[in-house]
Amino acid sequence: MTTISPVKTVKESKPKEQNSPKKSVYLTKQLNLWYGDKHALKNIDLDIKEHEVTAIIGPSGCGKSTYIKTLNRMVELVPSVKTSGEILYRERNIFDANYGVEELRTKVGMVFQKPNPFPKSIYDNVAYGPRIHGIKNKKILDEIVEKSLRGAAIWDEVKDRLNENAYSISGGQQQRICIARALAIEPDVILMDEPTSALDPISTLKIEELVQELKKDYSIIIVTHNMQQAARISDKTAFFLNGEVIEYDDTDVIFSNPSDKRTEDYISGRFG
């Protein structure tokens, strides 16, 4: 197992890791990113494993959202962004000139901070991804829509109102529609950028339970400003500060026995 300094990655001493070594889904090597002159990400090295929930925590402005948006290259929508280094997704550098962003984003779904359904029916929202990728057959679309809505644990709530506008349901339901919409393209990875920050506690709980279900079939990377949430749902946690990865380890290690003083200060609520 390759361990990239200076960040601690998976500990090889753990027996369960040795029995079934998980493959890397995202391997970030010496990633730097600038917004104009602002150095937003500094020498990031991270090895993210498949079928795990990886949480990214840190105070506002630490680069956690920037990092997750780099993973599907959405960050490049901001003008004047420059990057260096590599991000290998399934052993292929996503910055390669011949790696199309559309291709990458078909494998890597994203759920955003604020629920952002399209002003269309619930059905058309979920069918959007398959349709842009060329599926026209109504029967197949029906199946995808049902499967995705079931996957996002919202089928029972909306099955009788698929033709209603997606804005007619509650914010928490909208966010699960957005998750279903991401599932509909049958991705490999799901990126979640503070998916519950705009939701009430009950909707948050539902999304958290859903994340636990989804990790059986998908690799999930979740940015959260809520440390309890990271502790509850993630297998690994990366702590970002000022554009650097301070510590990356198993979640229970980060929250019970962090090796860096700054991590300890942050999780114990001394700053941030």
Residues that bind another protein (CB under 8 A): 72, 74, 77, 79, 101-106, 109-110, 112, 114, 116-120, 128-129, 131-133, 165, 167, 178, 181-182, 185
Q: What are phi and psi of 27, to 5 degrees?
A: -120, 110
> In 3D, which of 221, 188, 192 has the Cα closest to residue 204?
192
Residue 74 vs 253, nearer CB to another protein: 74
3-state secondary structure 165-192: EHHHCCHHHHHHHHHHHHHCCCCCEEEE
Q: How far apart are CA 268 and CA 41, in angstroms?
A: 24
Place of tokens 């995808």: 144
* Residue placing its CB nearer to another protein in the complex, 24 or 72: 72
Distance, in Å, from the CA atom of 17 to the CA atom of 67, rounded to the nearest integer, reads 26
Give the strand pairing for 24-35 and 219-223: unpaired
Q: How far is the CB of 127 from another protein (least distance, A)?
A: 11
What's the rounded Cα separation, in Å, for the pair 246 and 264? 11
Minimum separation from the CB atom of position 106 to another protein (A)? 4
Give 118 or 232: the residue with its C-beta nearer to another protein: 118
- Of the two residues 106 and 197, which places its CB atom closer to another protein in the complex? 106
Q: Collapsing DSSP states into helix, strand and coil, what is residue 127?
A: helix
Question: 171-183 and 122-132 helices cross at what angle (nearest 10)?
Answer: 20
In angstroms, give the least distance from the CB of 129 to another protein: 4
Upstream peptide bond of 6 is cis (omega within 30 degrees of 0): yes
Q: Other C-beta atoms within 10 Å of 251: how many?
A: 21
Q: Which is nearer to another protein, 172 or 258 (CB)?
A: 172
The least CB distance from residue 183 to another protein, in Å, is: 11
Residue (of 41, 57, 66, 67) closest to 265 by Cα position? 57
Query: Could you say which DSSP state residue 249 is in?
Result: E
Pick 10 or 122: Cβ nearer another protein: 122
Compute the least distance from the CB of residue 261 to another protein, in Å: 37
Q: Residue 117 or 258: which CB sits closer to another protein?
A: 117
Minimum CB separation from another protein for residue 117, in Å? Answer: 8
CB of 194 to another protein, least distance (A): 13
